Amino acid sequence: MTTPDATPDAIPGAIPDITPDITPDVTVTVIVHNDAARLPRAVASVRRQTHRNLEIVISDDASTDDTPAVARALAAEDPRVVYLRLAENSGGCSAPRNRGIECSRAPYLMFLDSDDELPEAAVETLLAAHRARDLDFAMGAVRRIRADNGRRSTWMPHLVAERRTLDGIEADPRLFFEHLATSKMYARAFLDRHSLRFPEGIHYEDQLFSAQAYCLAKTFTIVPEPVYLWYIAPYATASAASISNQRDRLSNVGDRVHVQRLIDAFLAESGHESLREDKDYKFLKHDFRMYAGDLPYRDESWLASFADLVVPYLDTLTPGAYARLPRAERVVVQLVRDRRFADARQAARGLGYEVAPRRITTGPDGRTYWGEGAPRDAAARRELDLTDLELDTRPFFSARLRHEITDLARGPGASVDLTVRTYDPALRLPVGPQRAALLLTPGSRRLTVPFRLSPVRPGVFEGHVHLDLTAARPPRHGFTGVRHPVLRLRLGPHTHTGLLLAPPAFPPFTSRVPYHRGTAPHQVTVEPEGHAPGRLQVRWEPVGLTARLTGPVLRRLKQAIRPTTP
């Protein structure tokens, strides 16, 4: 790849000139490409930092929208802002970050993407860690923010729960999972000493860069305070989706596997081969797992190409990494390796929710195996062996069952008719019809719809449910959100509740529901979840003037009178 040249734009204010004799403590490089709308928000979050002596480098990857004009305006407003522009688009994050490193003047460096932000004390917090000890880098918590609903969560919270200083990643190899380059402040001397730069011309550059930083660092500190705000757009269009959300592209799969091979080579060359199992486990548990959740929505041709890309690499992973995976995930991996694509799609549905296979088989050795027929080779028998799950003896509330919607039709008014098939591979349910109920809870009020599951053949039952959405009443102040119906079975005094798998694709059913008794009308949509585990989902949205005016007031009043737990 030809590396594009990058130089600061020759504009007033592009390079700080009001305090030329003062070196900034920290340089924050903000990378951007065709993101004029969000760039000001990102830069503003750096300008608001409680630590003021810093430099802000806007590194533009040859944008073709209004980004250059916006960046120049930002540089003119604040002498701490430097704007530089790459001559050609690099197609990734590495080149603009590397140009930021080259142009930076500070002894400590941070990176920010134009669609994210820094919390106000991020620079102060990480710089304090560096000043307390001689560190190669300091890192903190990342807050993930859903762009659609504002919901917040912490990325890899168990790794950043407490303040600690580590003398190398060997002290906690789990940190391979925290591969974000943006959650860290690096000592410039550390990066230069090891000629550590972002690899250009490939995606998933953070994974390689972070693996190298972890292995090369002698000392680094982790702080629990948030130092990065990462905005997630789960329903972004294909053109606007982040690289990690473009998993439907086979080139994306190839890039991820390529980076893993580069990491493996680095571990071997740098004397860190002992970390290979931990790194392989991270690939299986995180990287492969992301694709596994999407397998039910891929066709046979895509799955064949996917297997061509990943199976040769899967064959190089350490046996210990496979042994650490949950059994359900090992099953999916093995079915892909065996190119049993229809079975892989079935096994991937409900991952993480203890959903049963449709069938199990007892082999000649007396062991229980996933699916129909005992595996023929030793590797498949090892990976598809479900014996230790004790499917036939575990308590009923934790029994492995599988509930699938096989037919879905719109009924009269705001109603939906479902045909549900329940698979009981370990034959836990008695012969004959079974009492069942569909449960749906918008807000705090639960709707229970009883129905009967009739036997089709041993281990398979089928029933029909008429779901009237007018009976699923949300709170009076309105309800904006999504709920997933569940299926409850009763066996004597015992109950079992499991998720309800929807068909992978069906046209959404939307109705305007005029609830009574003072409840605002809502628009209610029944649709497939659209991603793993692929549940049926119902979505509510208040509509009408009353909902818009009284909803926020009533929600605040409810919050004010809610009792608190001492």
Look at residue 20 in the predicted model and tell me its pLDDT: 53
Give yes or no: residues 212 and 328 share one domain: no
Give yes or no: residues 373 and 406 share one domain: no
**Would residue 162 count as lying in a domain?**
yes
Look at residue 14 in the predicted model and tell me its pLDDT: 36
Closest CA relative to residue 451, chosen from 468, 470, 464: 464
pLDDT tens for each residue of 237-270: 444 444 455 777 899 999 999 999 999 999 999 9
Look at residue 352 in the predicted model and tell me its pLDDT: 87
Look at residue 545 in the predicted model and tell me its pLDDT: 63
Give yes or no: residues 466 and 508 share one domain: yes
**Would residue 150 count as lying in a domain?**
yes
Percent of the chain predicted with pLDDT > 90: 79
pLDDT tens for each residue of 492-549: 899 999 999 999 888 999 999 888 767 789 999 999 987 767 899 999 999 876 555 5
The model's pTM: 0.87
pLDDT tens for each residue of 277-310: 999 999 999 999 999 989 999 999 999 999 999 9
Give yes or no: residues 90 and 62 share one domain: yes
pLDDT tens for each residue of 98-111: 999 999 999 999 99
d(CA 250, CA 340): 19
d(CA 213, CA 227): 18
Average pLDDT, the chain: 90
**Would residue 297 count as lying in a domain?**
yes
Give yes or no: residues 114 and 220 share one domain: yes
Q: How many residues does the chain have?
A: 566
Of the pLDDT bands very low, low, confident and very high (cuts 50, 70, 90), residue 554 is very low
**Would residue 564 count as lying in a domain?**
no
DSSP assignment letter at 479:
-
Whether the per-residue pLDDT at 126 is higher than 60: the answer is yes
Q: What average pLDDT does this structure show over 161-165?
A: 97
Give yes or no: residues 253 and 219 share one domain: no
Give yes or no: residues 356 and 373 share one domain: yes
Q: What average pLDDT does this structure show over 409-421?
A: 94
**Would residue 239 count as lying in a domain?**
no
Look at residue 298 in the predicted model and tell me its pLDDT: 93
CATH number of the domain encompassing residue 15: 3.90.550.10
**Would residue 241 count as lying in a domain?**
no
Domain end residue (candidates: 202, 232, 262): 232
Q: Pick left, alpha or beta for residue 505 (phi over 0 → left; psi -120 to 50 → alpha; otherwise beta).
A: beta
Look at residue 252 in the predicted model and tell me its pLDDT: 92
Element (H, E) at 208: helix 205-216
- Angstrom distances, CA of residue 512 to CA of 124, 372, 438, 520, 536: 51, 45, 22, 11, 19
Beta strands in 51-128 (DSSP E): 54-60, 81-86, 108-113
- Structure-derived torsion over alpha carbons of residues 12, 14, 20, 25, reported in degrees to the nearest 10: 150
User: 327-337 and 300-314 are packed helices; what angle lies between their axes, rounded to 10 degrees?
Assistant: 100
Look at residue 479 in the predicted model and tell me its pLDDT: 87
**Would residue 74 count as lying in a domain?**
yes
Domain end residue (candidates: 338, 373, 389): 389
Report the Cα 402 to chain-centroid distance in Å: 25
**Would residue 242 count as lying in a domain?**
no
Give yes or no: residues 423 and 525 share one domain: yes
Give yes or no: residues 255 and 156 share one domain: no
- The range of the structural domain enclosing residue 337 comes to 247-389
Q: Name the pairing type of β-strands 486-491 and 434-440.
A: antiparallel
Structure token pair of residue 54? 């810093």
With tokens 């049926």, the residue in question is 536
Of the pLDDT bands very low, low, confident and very high (cuts 50, 70, 90), residue 202 is confident
d(CA 205, CA 183): 14
Percent of the chain predicted with pLDDT > 70: 89
With tokens 């190298």, the residue in question is 212
Give yes or no: residues 186 and 215 share one domain: yes
Tally of domains in the chain: 3
DSSP assignment letter at 553:
H
Q: Name the pairing type of β-strands 434-440 and 447-457.
A: antiparallel
- Within a 13 Å sphere around the CA of 490, how many CA atoms are in the beta-carbon half? 9
Domain end residue (candidates: 361, 389, 417): 389
Give yes or no: residues 189 and 301 share one domain: no
Give yes or no: residues 122 and 219 share one domain: yes
User: 300-314 and 341-348 are packed helices; what angle lies between their axes, rounded to 10 degrees?
Assistant: 90
CATH number of the domain encompassing residue 412: 2.60.40
